[in-house]
Amino acid sequence: MTWSPASWRSFPIQQQPTYDDPASVQKALAVVESLPPLVAAGEVDTLRQQIARAARGEVFILQGGDCAERFADCTRRTIEARLKILLQMSLVLTWGGRLPVVRLGRMAGQYAKPRSKDTEIVDGVELPAYRGDHVNGHDATPDSRRPDPQRLVRAYHHSAATLNYTRALLDGGFADLRNPRHWDLAFVRSDARRAGYEDMLDSILNALDFASVIGAADHASLKTVEFYSSHEGLLLAYEQAQTELADDRWYNLGAHSLWIGDRTRAVDGAHVEYFRGIENPIGVKIGPSMTPAALLHLLDKLEPQNRPGRISLITRFGAHRVRELLPALVRAVSVAGRHVSWICDPMHGNTQSTSSGLKTRQFNDISDELHRTFDTLQDVGIPLGGVHFELTGDDVTECMGGPQELSEEDLSRSYETWCDPRLNYAQSLEMAFLLARHLRARPAR
Domain ranges of the chain: 7-175+224-441
Tell me how crowded residue 119 is: count the other CB atoms within 10 A of its CB: 12
Q: Residue 217 — pLDDT band, cuts 50, 70, 90?
A: low
Q: Residue 28 — pLDDT band, cuts 50, 70, 90?
A: very high
- Specify the pLDDT at position 146: 97
- Specify the pLDDT at position 209: 73
Question: Can you tell me the distance from the alpha carbon of 415 to that of 398, in angstroms, rounded to the nearest whole number?
Answer: 5
DSSP class of residue 8?
G
> How many residues appear in the chain?
445
What Å distances lie between residue 346 and 151, 251, 350, CA to CA? 31, 29, 7
Residues 6+ away with beta carbon under 8 Å from 76: 165
Mark 77-107 as b/e (b = at least 16 C-beta within 10 Å): ebbebbbbbbbbbbbbbbbbbebbbbbbbbb
Read off the pTM: 0.93
Q: Is pLDDT at 271 greater than 90 in this prediction? A: yes
7-175+224-441 topology per CATH: TIM Barrel (3.20.20)
Q: Is pLDDT at 204 greater than 90 in this prediction? A: no
- Specify the pLDDT at position 91: 86
Average pLDDT over residues 361-387: 96
Contact between residue 123 and residue 132 where contact means Cβ atoms under 8 Å apart: no
Tens of pLDDT, residues 101-152: 999 999 999 999 999 899 999 989 999 999 999 999 999 999 999 999 999 9
**How many alpha carbons fall within 13 Å on the CB side of residue 347?**
27
Question: Can you tell me the distance from the alpha carbon of 387 to that of 102, in angstroms, rounded to the nearest whole number?
Answer: 11
